[in-house]
Amino acid sequence: MMKRALTPGTFDPITNGHIDVITRAAQLFDEVIVAVARSEGKHPLFSLEERVELAREATKHLPNVRVEPFTGLLVDFAQQMEASVLVKGLRAITDFEYEFQMTALNYQLDSELETIFIMSPPEYMYLSSSIVRELASFNADCSAFVPECVRVALQEKLS
Ligand code: PNS
């Protein structure tokens, strides 16, 4: 049977840390859908359309990966996409509490949906979209942390 996984997130914007998790997931599953949440409550810097476009550009080299926006509950979107697994990155112990809570909640909502975690390699331990947005807002060079299309988009957005 075809195994399809979702890698959900806000991706505001997608970083090399996200690409690492997505690439690893793509090696483990037949198909990976990068599920970009609207996350209105987080007041994202990039619009949903921009976040999807950047994620598509940044993952176009991965043939079994596609990018889709979603609104509403993640468990509903997973059902709609016929995905049986959520894959999330885990950077440090500080991520654990939040991820633990989300996993428990999603399990309550749909106990058939499995959540698995991929540990980030050391070079991405400290990397997050918010760190990238902060660096970019101070005009710092982000090229080590994000795909080229994101670097350009950040420059345009914040200039
Ligand atoms: O990259 P993020 O912002 O940490 O990802 C969080 C995300 C988008 C996975 C989470 O907020 C989410 O699943 N949002 C969709 C709404 C939902 O299902 N909420 C209940 C589970 S927490």
Residues 4-14 pLDDT 10s: 999 999 999 99
The residue ranges of DSSP E strands in 38-145, in sequence order, are 65-70, 85-90, 114-119
CA of 96 to the centre of ligand 1 (A): 14
Cis omega (within 30 of 0) for bond into 13: yes
Q: How far out from the chain centre does Cα 24 lie?
A: 13
Contacting residues for 107 by C-beta, under 8 A, at least 6 apart: 113, 115
Give which of 80, 65, 145 is closest to 110, Cα–Cα: 80
pTM of the model: 0.97
> Stretch 72-80: mean pLDDT, rounded?
98
Is the pLDDT at 1 greater than 90? The verdict is no
Number of domains in the chain: 1
SS3 85: strand
Atom from ligand 1 closest to the CA of residue 73: 18
> Stretch 58-78: mean pLDDT, rounded?
98
pLDDT in tens, 95-121: 889 999 999 999 999 999 999 999 989
CA of 12 to the centre of ligand 1 (A): 13
Report pLDDT for 159: 81
- Name the residue of 12, 74, 117 whose CB sits within 8 Å of the most ligand 1 atoms, as the mutation to test its pocket: 74
> Stretch 19-23: mean pLDDT, rounded?
98
**Rounded CA gap, 5 and 42, in Å?**
24
Atom from ligand 1 closest to the CA of residue 11: 1
CA of 14 to the centre of ligand 1 (A): 15
Atom from ligand 1 closest to the CA of residue 88: 9
In terms of residue numbers, what domain contains 74? Answer: 4-158
Q: Show the ligand 1 pocket: residues with CB < 6 angstroms.
A: 8-10, 37, 39, 73-74, 102, 105-106
> Stretch 49-65: mean pLDDT, rounded?
98
Does residue 18 have an active-site annotation? yes
Give the CATH number of the domain where residue 144 resides.
3.40.50.620
> Stretch 28-52: mean pLDDT, rounded?
98
CB 29 within 8 A of CB 85: yes
Is the pLDDT at 41 greater than 90? The verdict is yes
Protein residue closest via CA to atom 17 of ligand 1: 73
